Structure 1
Amino acid sequence: MPKIPTTLPLSGLFAVYKPSGPPSMTIVNDIKPLIARSRLFVEAEKLKNANTSQKGKGGRYNKKYARDAVKIGQGGTLDPLADGVLVVGVGKGTKKLTDFLDCVKEYRTTCLLGCETDSYDSEGARVRLAPWKHVTREQVEASLEQFRGEIMQAPPIFSALKMDGKPLYDYARNGIPLPRPIEKRKVTVYSLDIVEWLGTDHDFRWPTKELTDDQKKAMEKALSSVAEDSTIKDEPEAEQDSSSTPVPTAFVLRMKVSGGTYVRSVVHDLAHVVGSAGHVVTLTRSRQGRYTLAPEEEDDRGCVPWEVFTKAAENPGEPDADGWVEWEREVMDRMEVVN
C-alpha cells in the first residue's frame, strides 16, 4: 500500500511507462488534466475555485486552468517509435528534471539489417539498401568492442541538431552544403551486448517509403562539402529475387549508456562496420537514472503503467477509505517527493 502523505499538496517525480506511438509531450499533456484536479498536487482552495468557476462544457476543466494549476514536465524525450521509462516532474519536481538528461540510461533495441533510413529508424524513409546475408552473430559480437567505452559519435544528418542556427535536416532536405563536418560528441557506452539473434525469424520489414531521386540528390549535395564520397546508391543482395519481399537478418542489443548517446547511431554505425546497412525497428528505454521497468536495487523506482492514466481519463473510479482513486495510489506508490 502507498504511504499516505500527511502534508498536501505535493511536488515530486515519478515515471510513466510510455507506449510506442505517441510523442512524449502528448503523454504529459494527457496526464495534466488528472494532475490539475487532484488534491495530491493542487491546493484545496484552488480546486474549490476550479469546481465553481473553471469548468467548461461537460464538467471538464478548461485548458487554461489545467495549464496554470500546476507545473508538469518530462525529463528526457522519447520519440514516437520508442517505449519505456519517461520521468515526469510535478511542481518543484520540474526543477529536478535536468538531472535525468545526463544520467545513465539503459536501452533494448532491435536492429534490422540491409536497409538504411534517413532517421536511422523504421519511422523514416529508405536511403539505400545493402547486402546482409553475409553477416553472422559472431561477426557482430566481434565488432561490438569498438563501440564500448568512450566513443566519438556523430548525430544523424536528419536530426534537429543545429549548425550555424539551422537544423541539420534543413541542409539535407534542401540540398544546402554543410559548412563543416557534423561535430562528433564524446559519449560513454558502459555495456553493449547481443541478447537475442532473431535471424530471419521475425515479422520486421524495411519501410515502404523511399527517398525520391530529388531527395537523394539534395542529401548528396548537403554531404558533398564534407564527405569524399557522398554518392547514395543501392547495393542489394546479388542473389535476391526481385519478385519476393526479403526477410533480412535482425538482432536485439542491450546497452547501458551515458546521457546524449544516440542509440540509433550505434545501430547505424555498427551495421556499416559489418559491411551492411541497418536501422532501428524497436527501441525501449528500460532505465533512466533510478527509474526502471524492472526494479532491482534498493533505490530503484518502478513505472506507472500508461493504462492506469488512460483508464482514469475515462473513469477515475471510486475513492478508497482515504479518498484516493486508483491512479493517485499508483503514483503515490512510486513517487519521489521533492520539498
Structure 2
Amino acid sequence: MSQNPLITDAPCGVLLIDKEPDMTSHDAVAICRRQLKFKKIGHCGTLDPMATGLLMLVIGKATKIQDLLMSEDKEYTGTMTLGITTGSQDKESDIVEEKEVPPFTDEEIDAAFKKYVGPFEQTPPMVSAIKKNGVPLYKLARKGIEVERKARAVYVTDYEITRTAVPEVDFKVNCSKGFYVRTYAHDIGQDLGCGAHLSALRRTRSGKFTVDRAMTAADLKTATAEDIKNSLISLAEISLMRGA
C-alpha cells in the first residue's frame, strides 16, 4: 500500500523567526500555519509583544522536542529606564511610581547587577502567562486582582552593561529558562532605590540557536510554503548541534 503523500511531505523541523514589535508568539504561529497550510506548529517560549528577536517555531514531528528546546539557556539584550516603576514592570502599562534618579557611578550600577549572578529566586510578575487555578495571571491583573506568586529558582550565568546614559542602562544577560527580564530590571531598580522598568527587550539566543540565522517577520508574512520548508532546521542538524 502506498503512503499518503500528505504524510510523506509533511514539513518537519525548527523555524527561527526574528519577531517584530507588537507581534505575539501566537501571531507568528498563526502566520506560519496559514503559509504552510499545516496545523501542527508550536512555539518555544513566549516573547512579550514589545519584545523582538528569536522565536523558535517547532513544526510537525519537531513538536516532540518542544520541551527540550524550551529548557535551554537564553540570551537577551535590553534597556532599563531608571526612576519609573510600572505595573507590568515594562513600558506596556501605567506608571506606578516616579522617583528622582541619583547621579549613579558605573560602579554603583554594576554592583546592583552583580547581585543577580548565579542562582537566586525570582517572583514572577502579575502580568505573565503563569496560571493560578487555571487562569493566566495577566487576565487577573487586567481586573485589578493581585494574587500571591511563588518565587522560583532561576540563574544568571553572565551579564554585561553595554551603555549607561542615566536614566537608561543597556545590558546583555545570559539566563535560565523561566527567567523574567522585566522582573530583573524591576528588582535592580528597587535595589538602587529609584525603581526601574524594562523599556526594550530582544532575545538573541536560545540554546545553540541565534537570531542571526532567523527569518524576519516581514519575510515570514510573504513566504511561500517552499520558502519556509527550505528554511527549516532539520531534526538531524539539531541533534548534531546539541551533540546528541
Q: Structure 1 length normalisation: TM-score? A: 0.62
Shift of 1:278: 0.8
Shift of 1:123: 0.8
Q: What is the alpha-carbon distance in structure 2 between the residues aligned to residue 88 and residue 160 of structure 1?
A: 18
Q: Which residue of 1 aligns with 2:214?
A: 303
Q: Which residue of 1 aligns with 2:36?
A: 35
Q: Which residue of 2 aligns with 1:186?
A: 153
Q: What is the alpha-carbon distance in structure 1 between the residues aligned to residue 143 and residue 51 of structure 2?
A: 28
Letter in 2 for 1:92: K
Shift of 1:174: 5.3
Q: For the structure 1 residues 120 and 327, does the alpha-carbon distance in structure 2 shift closer, same or farther, using more than 3 Å as the test?
A: same
Deviations 1:30-73 (A, max 9, x none): 1112212xxxxxxxxxxxxxxxxxxxxxxxxxxxxxxxx44111
Q: After superposition, where does 1:60-139 map in structure 2 within 5 Å? A: 69-139=38-108
2:115 aligns to what SS in structure 1?
Answer: helix
1:33 aligns to what SS in structure 2?
Answer: helix
Shift of 1:177: 7.1
Q: Structure 1 vs Structure 2: percent identity of aligned residues?
A: 30
Deviations 1:242-267 (A, max 9, x none): xxxxxxx1011100001011111110
1:337 paired with 2:235, answer: yes
Q: What is the alpha-carbon distance in structure 2 between the residues aligned to residue 172 and residue 308 of structure 1?
A: 35
Q: For the structure 1 residues 291 and 144, does the alpha-carbon distance in structure 2 shift closer, same or farther, using more than 3 Å as the test?
A: same
Q: After superposition, where does 1:1-339 map in structure 2 within 5 Å? A: 8-36=9-37, 69-163=38-132, 167-168=136-137, 178=147, 181-199=148-166, 249-294=167-212, 302-312=213-223, 316=224, 326-329=227-230, 331-332=231-232, 335-337=233-235
Q: Contact 2:91/2:198 (CA < 8 Å) preserved in 1?
A: yes
Q: For the structure 1 residues 118 and 311, does the alpha-carbon distance in structure 2 shift closer, same or farther, using more than 3 Å as the test?
A: same
Q: For the structure 1 residues 311 and 137, does the alpha-carbon distance in structure 2 shift closer, same or farther, using more than 3 Å as the test?
A: same
Q: Which residue of 2 aligns with 1:45?
A: none
Q: Structure 2 length normalisation: TM-score? A: 0.84
Q: What is the alpha-carbon distance in structure 1 between the residues aligned to residue 143 and residue 34 of structure 2?
A: 40
Q: What is the alpha-carbon distance in structure 2 between the residues aligned to residue 168 and residue 197 of structure 1?
A: 33
Q: Which residue of 2 aligns with 1:222?
A: none
Whose Rg is larger? Answer: 1
**Structure 1, unaligned stretches of length 5 or more?**
1-6, 37-68, 200-248, 295-301, 317-323
1:147 aligns to what SS in structure 2?
Answer: coil
Q: Contact 1:18/1:84 (CA < 8 Å) preserved in 2?
A: yes
Number of aligned positions between the proteins:
230
Letter in 2 for 1:289: G
